Structure 1
Amino acid sequence: MAKGQAAFEIADQRVPAGSQRSIKLPAARLYTDTPIELHVEVFHGVKPGPTLLVCAALHGDELNGIDICRRLIKKINPKRLNGTLMVVPIVNVLGFIQQTRYLPDRRDLNRCFPGSQRGTLGGRLAYLFYSQLLQRATHLIDLHTGAINRSNLPQVRTDIRDGDALQMAEAFLAPVILHAKERDGSLRSTATDLGVHSILYEAGEALRFDEASIRTGLNGILNVMKLLGMAQRRGSRRKYDPVVANSSQWVRNELDGLIISRVRLGDRVTKGQILAYSASPHGDNEEPIRSPFDGIVIGMSNIPIANEGEALFHLAKFDRDRMDEAGEIVDAFIEDFEPRVL
């Protein structure tokens, strides 16, 4: 054990300084009596420092974060680490098995925190995560994607009133930071109540891998670790500073029909600009869907049909004097990750 750095204790196990250990927490059982376990990779550094918790697949169909965690685990050397890193690639194991966002009882695990030992399945899983992992953390990075058939531009969401969390969000280097208050029962809300500084990374679409989203997420975590003094990294490029959006809004369909989109993810739009047409399949009616303000498309539906009231385009709203800057930042990000023809 390195001098001055005690072993890290979790689930009645000790992780010596300068070592890595896989911890399996009993979480639930299938109907077949097969045990389901929450797998945690713990890296305990040789010197004191923060305890960073990185987790993915809180919604079981959100896969990008799982591959981000897989790549992160391969990069960490505990002998060159300050503090402790806990990585949970799959939180909602039951949802992941079924390739669904929810738990078997259709509850959203991200509305069950801090949970209860004697509550619903979601409450019990949330309490396990809360009591064994979150309470040991000083910082949290929660990895997400868009819902099924919806894509998100890489973005970090946090309460920018938390100065430490805002610094994490800026260091992450996703093109957009979205000011977002915590929702009751969410992991991020519970983390805030504990004094754990947290950010949420959103990128890509459920049940799909997206290389740009994965690479941005991996680089972002390593950047945050450098910010926290946990590890050094080489070759980190900083081509832009992320821009903060103080609010966002989903634009919804007003008529049932086919959706003929006129914008793409990451596009800069102006107030009144036509985002899409809602068209009758019989060809006798096309109604324009317009942007309610100047903004950037940070999320959108991938299904070209929609009923009245369905969310189609998620627009981030920026201060007027930063709108051009925001557009340039997003353009630079997209150019970096644009597929190249070899």
Structure 2
Amino acid sequence: MGESVEGAVEFEIGGEIVPPGERRIVAIPVSQQVSGLSANLALQVVHGAQPGPVVFVSGAIHGDEIIGTAVIQRLSARLDPQRLAGTVILAPAVNIFGFLQHSRYLPDRRDLNRSFPGSRKGSLAGQLAWTFLEHVIGRCSLGIDIHSAAIHRYNLPQIRIAAGSPYLVELAMAFGAPVIIESPLRDGSMRALAQGREVPMLLMEAGEALRFDRLSIDIGVSGVCRVLAHIGMIEADDGLSHVGIPARANKSSWVRAPRGGVTHRERKSGDIVHKGDLLATVGGLFGEGPMEMVSPIDGIIIGHATLPVVNQGDALFHIAEVAQLEHAGERIGSITEAILASEPEGPAQPLMDEDEVI
């Protein structure tokens, strides 16, 4: 790093020098493609005119989870390096291999979010994980990673954090998503690695794979901006004084189709439900033999299947247990309206670090 004439520190990344108050798109080589051409990690560095924290915002670590890409495009347009304190590293498609193939995985069929810390000379997934660690995570004091549900599934916008961190709770409250979930960390995940490096992380879950929806994008952009405002990087309202209090949870239940056939949903993501409430009915091709699906707990639906044709045992609803459910109603009700405008029972299970159908 060097000094500018004003005394602000230049930012060096991947051999590129970014002067204070400017932005650069940087391509960091990861591996070689079948064609022999270089495959790169594409980053945009927005380097503020004033000193401050270094924060990364990443999307598409699973290549088909593209909501983060849209959020980051909007953020790039909003962030003015001349008015920024610190540095924001934007990574709109971390798993560029899966992104190009519309696939969750890399060509070697590995899950990038189970491959950290990776290795410079390891598998393709390991090389990409190592590159992201070396050039991004290792440079930052905070990360925001954006995921979505799988294809034919929808997730209510939510923030997931590691348990036991008042600072992460504070950041999650500033983000202002409808639900905050304290969830365990998965071995090999970006969040687990970052925690081991003492880099706190927020994980946003929102929307559906391979689709953009306005609600998820709007909540993502507004949430990241509020977090940046809260830690003093931009001049804006962090929302803590007026954004509704999110619901909080640390465990959930999946509700599965009791038979194969065609479903007719009565509930959707964002709905508050009580134990015994009707969620959907599943009947045969002629509607014969309908079977009811009911909520096993009091809580909030944080994810649902969007494909009506199901096999027996398919997970159709994901319900988060919420303490003091009555206090969540007002905020969640407004989110449910926004969703409409834009688009067998078992024990409660822990929520994992990003959405997977268990």
Shared fold per TM-score greater than 0.5: yes
Contact 1:2 1:46 in 2 (8 A): no
CA distance in 1, matches of 2:39, 2:108: 16
For each residue in 1:34-84, what CA deviation from the matched residue of structure 2 results, as whole angstroms up to 9, or x when unmatched? 322111111122222111100001111112110110111111111111111
Q: Structure 1 length as normaliser, TM-score?
A: 0.94
Superposed displacement of residue 323, structure 1 = 0.2
Hey, what's the Cα distance between the residues in 2 that align with 1:335 and 1:303? 21
**Aligned runs of 1:180-329 on 2, under 5 Å?**
180-233=183-236, 238-319=242-323, 322-329=324-331
Instruction: Give the root-mean-square deviation of aligned CA atoms.
Output: 1.8
- Bigger drift between 28-37 and 166-175 goes to 28-37
Amino acid of the structure 1 residue aligned with 2:215: A
Q: 1:86 maps to what in 2?
A: 89
Q: Size of the alignment, in residue pairs?
A: 338
Percentage identity across aligned positions? Answer: 40
> CA shift at 1:29, angstroms?
2.9
Question: By how many angstroms is 1:199 displaced?
Answer: 0.5
- Contact 2:229/2:237 (<8 A) preserved: no
Residue 20 (structure 1) aligns with = 23
Which residue is equivalent to 1:5?
8
The residue number in structure 2 matching 1:177 is 180
Q: Which residue of 2 aligns with 1:116?
A: 119
- Structure 1 stretch 294-303 or stretch 3-12: which is displaced more? 3-12
In 2, Cα distance between equivalents of 1:28 and 1:145? 26
CA contact (8 A) 2:66 2:212 kept: yes
The one-letter code of the counterpart of 2:285 is: P
Give the whole-Å Cα distance in 1 for the aligned partners of 2:87 and 2:35. Answer: 36
Q: Does 1:164 align with 2:132?
A: no
Shift of 1:234: 6.0
Counterpart amino acid of 2:144?
A: I
1:71 corresponds to which letter in structure 2?
A: R
Work out the CA distance in 2 between the residues paired with 1:2 and 1:324. Answer: 57
Unaligned residue ranges in structure 1 (runs of 5+): none
Q: In structure 1, what is the equivalent of residue 333 of structure 2?
A: 331
1:105 partnered with 2:108: yes
Task: Give per-residue Cα distances to partners, 1:69-127, cap 9 Å, x unaligned.
Answer: 01111111111111111000110101111111111122111111111112211111101
Deviation of 1:285 (Å): 1.1
Q: Distance in 2 between matches of 1:239 and 1:224?
A: 13
TM-score normalised by structure 2 residue count = 0.90
1:49 and 2:60 correspond: no
Q: CA offsets, 1:167-222, max 9 Å, x none? A: 11111111111111111111111111110110101111011110111011000010
2:281 & 2:32 partners in 1: Cα distance? 48
Once the two structures are TM-superposed, the CA of residue 3 in structure 1 deviates from its matched residue by 4.1
2:351 corresponds to: none
Q: What amino acid is aligned across from residue 205 of structure 2 in structure 1?
A: E
Which amino acid is 2:330 matched to? E
Mapped to 2, the partners of 1:196 and 1:285 lie a distance apart of 53
Q: Distance in 2 between matches of 1:11 and 1:217?
A: 28
In the TM superposition, residue 30 of structure 1 has moved relative to its aligned partner by: 2.6
**Structure 2 stretches lacking a partner, 5+ long:** 343-358
8 Å CA contact retained: 2:174, 2:238: no
Q: Is the 8 A contact 2:173 2:246 kept in 1?
A: yes
Q: Which whole-Å CA distance do the structure 1 matches of 2:284 and 2:9 have between them?
A: 67
Give, as a single letter, the amino acid of the residue that structure 2 aligns with 1:163.
P
**Contact conserved, 1:141 with 1:201, CA < 8 A, in 2?**
yes
